Amino acid sequence: MSQKQIAGVTIDVNDEGYMTNHAQWNRDVAAALAKEEGIDLTEGHWKVLDFIDKDFKEKSAVPGMRRMNKVGGIETKELYSLFPNGPIKKATKIAGYPKPVSCV
């Protein structure tokens, strides 16, 4: 495990860049992580990030694509539009949660 400076905050990350201590996360950190992924956060992005946060706090697991669709009401097409090339992996990284178990 290592650390990195982002948005004026030191965060703990694993070797893939996922945060390992969600308590260090805030919206500025999210925006900076998104920038690293080439994403400028919009209201649509925040809808996804807020759902991930809420769902993780309830289930203690990152929601998969099906749950995002069925429970979150976020269509697959929209997820790929907001977070291209791996929407669940990118969204959870920006949301400050671990890499989903279902993602390789």
Q: Which residues are catalytic?
A: 103
Helix (H) or strand (E) holding 4: strand 2-6
The answer to whether 48 and 74 are in contact (CB under 8 A) is: yes
Helix (H) or strand (E) holding 5: strand 2-6
Neighbours of 30 (CB within 10 A): 21
Rounded Cα gap, residues 22 and 50, in angstroms: 14
